[in-house]
Each structure stands twice: as structure tokens, then as C-alpha cells.
Structure 1
Amino acid sequence: VFGEVKDGDPVHVSFYQGGVRRFDGIDTGLDSLLDFPLFYPARRAFGEGGSVREVAQALSKDYLYTNPGLLVTLVGGHDDGRFMSEKGASVAGAKLAHTFILTTRGVPQLYYGDEIGMTGPDEPTTRRDFPGGFPGDARDAFTRAGRTPEEQELFDYVRRVVHLHTELEPLRRGALKDLYVADQQYAYGRTTARSSVIVVINNDSKAVGFEFSVAEANLKDGTRLEDHLETLRGEMRVERGRVSVTMPARSAAVLVPRGTFPSGVELEKDGPRGRGGVKTF
């Protein structure tokens, strides 16, 4: 069960997560809460082009929660306007925002329609029907044929990151370790006892090269890494405990040690109706 405390201050929000009795002697019993203290800086960073350092700073307050791994992460909803209605929002920013919530700690929540970039600055526009699904609708965005090229681009990307979240155990259960934090660049590891994944985000409007230590991600020298988002081509190697990357403008990479195989999940190709999906076997 999760609750909603619409406040950007983690001191206030964490008070309501269950598992401990606060000064008033009450344990709320709530397993989780909507992570608004992370929502707001993520929207500013990826929607408006603000600093990703603010995102990392929000996560540094995780010690306030009884279980930050159960917090519901989000970048869209009906209360604050859709992501694509944020001033300065773009498809590139939406890709980064969804990459972030699907690879950081917590339980990701995607607001319907954000996967195709629906707009709506406020109530009631944020609650407009998803296009399609009923007789007489002008178009059916549940199918490839009913999506615009821009909608399809975002849809394909979000589906790919959802697939990685399903496929790679560290993205669901791994400890979160900051590896590199700058004004517009952020790299973090998700680490379990068995494996690690590194996520790299460049929120800048230009390409940037940088390197960072992967010691906290438990990756040994010589480990070969592949980008499962295919932003970076070829292999990267861990050398002297560090990884060097050159990231294109407003892009993300999910670096996985070579030989890390899918955990029984594959991405289905679009069928005649263009629906696609994730298949477990």
C-alpha cells in the first residue's frame, strides 16, 4: 500500500512511511509513498534542462526513509501537468526522465500517455483519454499505425528501458551507488551480490566526455561493458578501476558487464496491430 504526501521535502514525506513509530507514537503502516521529493528535481532537470546534481542531492536524503527502495518514483501525473507540458520539455528530455525513474531505486510508475508524449498542462487536460481504444476514435495510438513518428520514437525508447528494468535484476533490487555527479552529468551503479549495472546520463545540450571510478560498483579491471541502450557503440573496459565515456548530447547509457544474460525475458516484435510487449518464459 502506498500513500500520497504531496510535498517536496523528504523530512515531511518520510515521516509517513511505515515501519517505525514517530514522536506521536503512530506507525502509519504505509509500505510506500509517492516520491515527490525526487519528482520535482527530476522534472526540473529533465523537463526544463536544470541541474542533475539536484536529483542526486534528493537521493542523498534516502537515509530519512525506513525503506527508500519501496518509494514510488514518477515524472508524470494529473496534479502537476504532464511531463511534455513542462516549459522546455522535449522528446530527448522525456527519454532521460523515463530512463532515470526506470533505473534508479524505487518502484517506477508511468502515467498513461506519457510513453507517447501526451500533453496537458493542468486539470482537466491531464486526464484526457488516451487516443484510441473505442469505436469512433479519430485514431488508435495503441497501434503503431495510429502513432505519429515522434510518438513512436518515444514509445519505442520507453518500451526498451522498461524491458531492461524487467531483464536486469540490479535495476530492480540493486543498491544505489553514486559514481559521478556534475551539473549536467550523472552516473550511478545498481549493485547486487551477483551483478552490477552502471547508468550514465548526460543532460547537457552538447556531447561530453568524462571518466569515473567504478569501485563502488564492484567491477574489476578488465571487465568489458556493453551499452544495452545502444547509445555508445562498441565495448568499454574497466581500467585502473575507472570507466571513460563520451556521451552524446542529452543521452543515457545502461552499461552491463558482457556475458550478463537476460533473466527469461525478451522483447516481442510488433505484430499486425503493432502492440509489441514483454514476454516471460
Structure 2
Amino acid sequence: RRFWRDWTGAIKREYPNFANLGELYDGNPAMTAFFQGGAKRFDGVDSGFDTVFDFPLMYPIRKAFANGDDLRELPKMLAHDYMYPNPDLLVTFLGLHDMQRFMSEPNASAKGLMLAQTFLMTTRGVPMLYYGDEIGMTGANDPDNRRDFPGGWREDSRDAFTEKGRTIEENQIFNHVKNLTRIRRELEPLRGGKLVNLLSDAQQQYAFARVSKQNSVIVVFNNAKQPATIEFPVDSLNLQNAALVDKMNVSSDLTVENGKMKVTVAGRSASIFTTK
């Protein structure tokens, strides 16, 4: 860490606006937090890294949405955010060049990938998309996970940069990511609001809010194959009698009543609610 303190310090002196990102390939939040800059630890050293990859959150994301594991592991991991100097700067991701792609997980599916992408674009942190995940590319461990994106050269058999060059499923995933980036841009709480868990004790459903001074956004996940009707309190969000609309067009519009929100979400889907 002293080496990295000196290295990041030297870089910043030459390039004050240079942003550096650290990679600690470890699922332990205590280890990862130890290397995010912004605080001196027991050794009196601040690493100087502006931020680090959020490997600890990536693992339960994959397990939940690729393999259908327990969604409760997501809020459990987020509960460790107190360890980080600035959890909102953590770079969240589904995969990168050092591991097999999400779609090469044994039980991965397009619906699971889109759920994971929805979580990535709505939870706290700075989301990173690894090239090819926007069309659901597969890829085993290195170097198969680094294969070329299809298209861009005359010799390529197809051009996935274009709609007609993508398959039906690839276009579905691509348009989903495009819609998510638009929603994230439009809804300020998704970029900087406080994360508040609303329903975190169900095995295959999860709901949280992103809350800012201007507004609140409620995100609801149903990881089960069948539709689920869930109810949870939202009285802390000051939304009594508020009319909410789903920006994902998955669930029907609804009204908050008696400080509670009751919603039916289709199987393997997610809804993003905001006030009309």
C-alpha cells in the first residue's frame, strides 16, 4: 500500500485530474475496502486510489441472476458499505477480461442477464459494462472471454453494431441496456441517491429505493420464474397516496396506500417505479 500511495501521488502531481481505478481480485469487502483511497487505515496509509472494482458485489450478483441463488445475499453484501471510504464510487460490474462471461455461467439466460443489468444500473456505485455484454456474448475463461466483438471490419461475417446484424435475442438485450441507460440518465436518484432497502428478507424478491432530495425511485426484482405479488412499507419515503409509474413497463401503475406498496411483478423481471 505504501508503493501505491507513492505511485498514485506521483501520478496526481503530474496529472491532477487523472482518475485511477484499482483492481483487487477478491470477494472479501474488508480486503477491497482496504485499498480504496480516501482514508488512512491502521498502517497510516491512504492508498490514493480514487476507487476500486466492486468484486465483492459482483459474485452475489452472478450467483443470484445467473444461477437463481438467494437474492438476500445482495443486501447482505451491501450492508458492508460502511467499510468503504466512499461506496458510491465503487465500480460495479458483471464481468471483465479476467473471468468467464456472465452468459457462460452454467445456468445463465438472457432474462437473468437483463435482471443483472437492471440491478447494475440501479444500485449504488458507478456501473461498468464489459464490451459484448450489451448483446449477451458468451466466453469462457481467458482468452475466450476476449474474443472480438462481431462486426466493424469488412471481413466479418456479420455486424452486431447494427440492428439487422444482431439476432432477435441480442437485440432484446441491447435495447434493454439502451433503455436502462436512458432511465439512469433521466432519474437523478439512480445516479447519486441513498440506497434504502424496502424488502430484503425474501428469497427471490428484492426491493430498494434510491432516495435524493428531489425524488425517490423504487426498484423491485422478481427472480422467480412465476409472477409474484409483494407488499412492503414505503412510509419513510413520504409517498402516501402517490401515483407511481413503472419506467420498465413491466408492472401496472399503482398508488401508495396506508404507507404500503403492493405490486405484482412478472417472473424474472424488474420494475423501476417513480412518481408520475
Q: What TM-score, normalized by structure 2, do the two folds share?
A: 0.91
| Amino acid in the other structure paired with 1:209 | T
* 3-state SS in 2 of match to 1:164: helix
| Amino acid in the other structure paired with 2:227 | A
Q: Which of 40, 43, 47 is 1:21 aligned to?
A: 40
Give deviations 1:128-160, integer Å, cap 9, x for gaps: 110001111100000001000010111111110
Partner of 1:127: 146
Partner of 1:158: 177
Partner of 1:143: 162
CA distance in 1, matches of 2:75, 2:171: 30
Do 1:219 and 1:238's aligned partners in 2 also have CA atoms closer than 8 Å? no
CA distance in 2, matches of 1:204, 1:47: 12
Q: Would you say 1:211 and 2:231 are equivalent positions?
A: yes
Per the TM alignment, residue 219 of structure 1 is displaced from its structure 2 partner at its CA by 3.0
Q: Which of 46, 59, 72 is 1:40 aligned to?
A: 59
CA distance in 2, matches of 1:204, 1:177: 22
Runs of 4+ in 1 over 4 A off after TM superposition: none
CA distance in 1, matches of 2:193, 2:114: 22
How many residues of Structure 1 are paired with residues of Structure 2 in the alignment?
256
| Amino acid in the other structure paired with 2:155 | G
Q: Which of 217, 226, 230 is 1:197 aligned to?
A: 217
Give deviations 1:151-185, integer Å, cap 9, x for gaps: 01111111101111111100001000000011110
CA distance in 2, matches of 1:109, 1:117: 15
Q: Would you say 1:255 and 2:267 are equivalent positions?
A: no
Do 1:196 and 1:219's aligned partners in 2 also have CA atoms closer than 8 Å? no
Per the TM alignment, residue 215 of structure 1 is displaced from its structure 2 partner at its CA by 2.5
Identity %: 49
CA distance in 1, matches of 2:119, 2:239: 25
Partner of 2:254: 236
| Amino acid in the other structure paired with 2:45 | I
CA distance in 2, matches of 1:215, 1:191: 13
CA distance in 1, matches of 2:48, 2:97: 26
Partner of 1:66: 85
| Amino acid in the other structure paired with 2:219 | V
CA distance in 1, matches of 2:73, 2:120: 15
Partner of 2:119: 100
Give deviations 1:6-28, integer Å, cap 9, x for gaps: 10000111011111111111101
Do 1:185 and 1:201's aligned partners in 2 also have CA atoms closer than 8 Å? yes
Partner of 1:85: 104
CA distance in 1, matches of 2:181, 2:44: 40
CA distance in 1, matches of 2:213, 2:172: 35
CA distance in 2, matches of 1:167, 1:185: 25
Partner of 1:179: 198
Q: What TM-score, normalized by structure 1, do the two folds share?
A: 0.90
Partner of 1:262: none
* 3-state SS in 1 of match to 2:173: helix
CA distance in 2, matches of 1:128, 1:165: 29
CA distance in 1, matches of 2:171, 2:248: 16
Do 1:8 and 1:36's aligned partners in 2 also have CA atoms closer than 8 Å? yes
CA distance in 2, matches of 1:76, 1:50: 18
More helix by share: 2
Q: CA RMSD in A?
A: 0.8
